Chain A
Amino acid sequence: DAGVIQSPRHEVTEMGQEVTLRCKPISGHDYLFWYRQTMMRGLELLIYFNNNVPIDDSGMPEDRFSAKMPNASFSTLKIQPSEPRDSAVYFCASSYRGMELFFGEGSRLTVL
């Protein structure tokens, strides 16, 4: 079975631009998570969905961040406008009934 698929793997953009990160969870998983990883703060949970419904977005740093899950097989994390401090690796993960997380390969974002 395919694992969690994220795109793009790498994104370099300029400050002020819109960034959209994409995720396809493992088929049949009912939870989807977005994490951000930085050297300073480690892994931070940004938001998670259960059956496509956002449950907790308290980790989303600012209104510039938004996430959607229009169906069970697709989610996006959008940053608009992007800032240099948003530079990080963004992980998507999915799980079944809240058990262990299966992570994608991450999207490395660099905002210049």
Chain B
Amino acid sequence: AQTVTQSQPEMSVQEAETVTLSCTYDTSESDYYLFWYKQPPSRQMILVIRQEAYKQQNATENRFSVNFQKAAKSFSLKISDSQLGDAAMYFCAYRSAYNNNDMRFGAGTRLTVKP
């Protein structure tokens, strides 16, 4: 079974600095999707970024980018120019391309942004 591991329960970053959140996953499948979700104190899970495994190019969304290393099964999230509003729980998620509804979430990383 696929598992998603986030080894950093908590991280902190100074406002305007850059931070990288780690995520590794275990799978025997060749085609899949990876996601980062943000959960602010308001509780709603918000999609931050998505990466298709068949794409070599790393996904980017404004200040958010990923470092996708397929061979290493690593999918880290880089947040540049951190803002106070980035403070939240961040969840890495894996979804199989063969079973659309088998989405696995990591345990989450709590990001604190210091002013």
Contact = CB atoms under 8 A, between A and B. Distances in A.
Interface residues of A, number: 23
Interface in B82-115: 91, 95, 100-101, 103, 105-108
A100 B50 contact: yes
B98 to A, nearest CB: 11
B35 interface: yes
A105 B44 contact: yes
Interface of A: 31, 33, 42-43, 45, 48, 50, 55-56, 89, 91, 93, 97-106, 108
Ranked nearest first, the 9 interchain pairs of A and B with the lowest CB-CB distance are A98-B100, A103-B45, A43-B105, A105-B44, A106-B43, A48-B101, A42-B107, A100-B47, A100-B50
23 contacts: A31-B100, A31-B101, A42-B107, A42-B108, A43-B91, A43-B105, A45-B103, A55-B101, A56-B101, A89-B43, A93-B45, A97-B100, A98-B101, A99-B33, A100-B33, A100-B35, A101-B45, A101-B47, A103-B37, A104-B44, A105-B43, A105-B44, A106-B44
